[in-house]
Amino acid sequence: MSILQASGLSYAVDGKPLVVDAGFSLEPGELTALIGPNGSGKTTLLRLALGLLQAEAGSASIDGEPVARLSPVERARKIAYLPQARPLVWPQPVRDVVSLGRFAYGAALGRLSAGDEAAVSHAIGACQLDGFEERAADTLSGGELARVHLARALAAETPLVIADEPVAALDPRYQHQTMRLFASMAQGGHGVLTVVHDLDLALRYANRVLWMHEGRIVADGTPEDTFTSERLRRVFGIQAEISRNGASFRLDILGPA
Ligand SMILES: Nc1ncnc2c1ncn2[C@@H]1O[C@H](COP(=O)(O)OP(=O)(O)OP(=O)(O)O)[C@@H](O)[C@H]1O
């Protein structure tokens, strides 16, 4: 059964449609990449699907329950959402920031159960933050802080993880490590959706790709089926070639179309 099911979602501001009749489902065991140009509606679609924005039409449910009926705590136990904008103003130690991921389970700082502690330590390790636990978060580099936010989301140990551009600030090694981590979580039975602008990462790691263009989902399928030169030109306005090398695919972006 799908963990998240959305259908017919639409949303407009001042008469301008930002999301139009968009539907998708997220399954356990799948790493889904949501791709599309700047301003195509990816963040808005995710916020609608999570019930953080009120849709004008359409519906979304999590584990069969309409999102509007879930309390924030119930939703936080099912889905870890890592938003694109991640404000952090206080100089909290990294371990405390990651511990925020356990609040949906009743944890409070200085009052973490053994299970909470284990989840926090596991997330810190998974995001390669060992040694950073006591550092004040406001002294971290942009990429280090991005990994702290990811660790906070993972510490919640939810069946579904939705991350909006989690690798944008990361160097190539951590970008690949993060995508590998998502792929292994999916193999372990989680559902994972990530927004990525690096098309090569989507092609290489995702089982499934949702293509968004001008507020609509214009393709939904495997990377092999959906990555075509024609679609890359139409959706992203780029000239690109796809070639097959054994089981893997290679994407060459030649420039703007
Ligand atoms: N409250 C709002 N009022 C007016 N326009 C909005 C509002 N929220 C979003 N938009 C516009 O809707 C469009 C879609 O925004 P959204 O953040 O969903 O795009 P995105 O695909 O996530 O983009 P990016 O890749 O740049 O992060 C953008 O043009 C944005 O400026």
Q: What is the pLDDT of residues 166-175, one digit of tens each?
A: 999 899 999 9
Q: Are residues 150 and 243 in the same domain?
A: no
Determine which of 61-70, 201-210, 216-225 has the lowest per-residue pLDDT on average. Answer: 61-70
Q: How far is CA 5 from the centre of its chain?
A: 16
Structural domain total, the chain: 2
Nearest Cα to 7, choosing from 232, 178, 220?
220
Q: Are residues 239 and 169 in the same domain?
A: no
* The predicted structure's pLDDT at residue 91: 85
Which of 44, 46, 214 most suits a substitution to test ligand 1, by most atoms within 8 Å of the C-beta? 44
pLDDT digits (tens, 9 = 90+) for 34-50: 999 999 999 999 999 99
pLDDT digits (tens, 9 = 90+) for 215-255: 999 999 999 999 999 999 999 999 999 998 777 888 999 99
140 lines ligand 1 (CB under 6 A): no
Is 92 in contact with 136 (CB distance < 8 Å)? Answer: yes
Distance 40 CA to ligand 1 centre (A): 7
Is 80 in contact with 56 (CB distance < 8 Å)? Answer: no
36 lines ligand 1 (CB under 6 A): yes
Q: Are residues 231 and 196 in the same domain?
A: no
Nearest Cα to 21, choosing from 55, 69, 67?
55
Give the residue with greater pLDDT, 247 vs 183. Answer: 183
Is 10 in contact with 53 (CB distance < 8 Å)? Answer: no
Whole-model pTM: value is 0.94
Distance 43 CA to ligand 1 centre (A): 7
Distance 208 CA to ligand 1 centre (A): 23
Bridge-based pairing state of the strands 4-13 and 248-256: unpaired
Q: Are residues 128 and 244 in the same domain?
A: no
* The predicted structure's pLDDT at residue 132: 96
Average pLDDT of the segment spanning 51-75? 93
Q: Are residues 240 and 213 in the same domain?
A: no
**What's the complex ipTM?**
0.98
What is the span of the domain harbouring residue 218? 4-226
Q: Are residues 175 and 252 in the same domain?
A: no
* The predicted structure's pLDDT at residue 214: 98
Task: Inform me whether the pLDDT recorded for 191 exceeds 90.
Answer: yes
Q: Are residues 197 and 252 in the same domain?
A: no
Which residues, at least 6 apart from 72, have a Cβ–Cβ distance to it below 8 Å? none
* The predicted structure's pLDDT at residue 89: 64
57 pLDDT band, cuts 50/70/90, is very high
Average pLDDT of the segment spanning 94-121? 87
Q: Give the rounded percent of residues in the chain with a pLDDT score beyond 70.
A: 99
Task: Inform me whether the pLDDT recorded for 1 exceeds 90.
Answer: no
Distance 18 CA to ligand 1 centre (A): 7
85 pLDDT band, cuts 50/70/90, is confident
Say how many CA atoms lie within 13 Å of 66 toward its Cβ. 6
Q: Are residues 136 and 255 in the same domain?
A: no
Give the residue with greater pLDDT, 162 vs 104. Answer: 162
Q: Are residues 91 and 198 in the same domain?
A: yes
Say which CATH number the domain at 125 has: 3.40.50.300
Q: Are residues 194 and 154 in the same domain?
A: yes
Nearest Cα to 80, choosing from 62, 106, 59, 54?
62
247 lines ligand 1 (CB under 6 A): no
Q: Are residues 133 and 241 in the same domain?
A: no
* The predicted structure's pLDDT at residue 109: 74
Average predicted confidence (pLDDT) for the chain: 93
Q: Are residues 222 and 234 in the same domain?
A: no
